[in-house]
Amino acid sequence: MAQGKKYDIRVTENDGSWTAEIVRKISTRKTKVTKRQDGFGSEAEAQSWGEETLNSFLQQQVERNQRKAAQRTEREAQALRQAAKAEQKRAERAAAAETDDADYDDYDDEYDD
């Protein structure tokens, strides 16, 4: 799978002022503006704001992904513990049922003629 840039900076000029946008790539043809700031006096200012904002945004995404991964790991571990506990209870019930059946088998053997 090809890895491309998901987020990018787009700087445009409109009637003498500059606009910086953080753009998210949705598909190969479609993009969406995530953040926008306008009113910059120069292209350099707009580019600088875009780079700072993009770095901050990406850092927040990394932190969010780490939190979600930790939560997912904990959920999976909890599910495994519950499954193991349920399996243990099933095994105990099966063992108890076998001993009960064995008691009844002995009773039947005593009275068989």
Whole-angstrom distance, CA of residue 10 vs CA of residue 47:
8
pTM here is: 0.63
Q: How far is CA 48 from CA 15, 62, 89, in A?
A: 20, 21, 62
Confidence of residue 13 (pLDDT cuts 50, 70, 90): very high
Q: Which pLDDT belongs to residue 37?
A: 93
Helix, coil or strand: residue 113: coil
Q: Which pLDDT belongs to residue 2?
A: 54
In percent, how much of the chain has pLDDT > 70?
84
Note whether 45 and 18 are within 8 A (CB). yes
> Is the four-CA dihedral 105, 106, 110, 113 of positive or negative sign?
positive
Tell me the β-bridge partners of 13: 18
Question: Is it the case that residue 80 has pLDDT exceeding 60?
Answer: yes
Read off the amino acid at residue 19: T
- Helix (H), strand (E) at residue 20: strand 17-25
**Greater model confidence, 9 or 112:** 9
Buried b (16+ CB within 10 A) or exposed e, 78-93: eeeeeeeeeeeeeeee
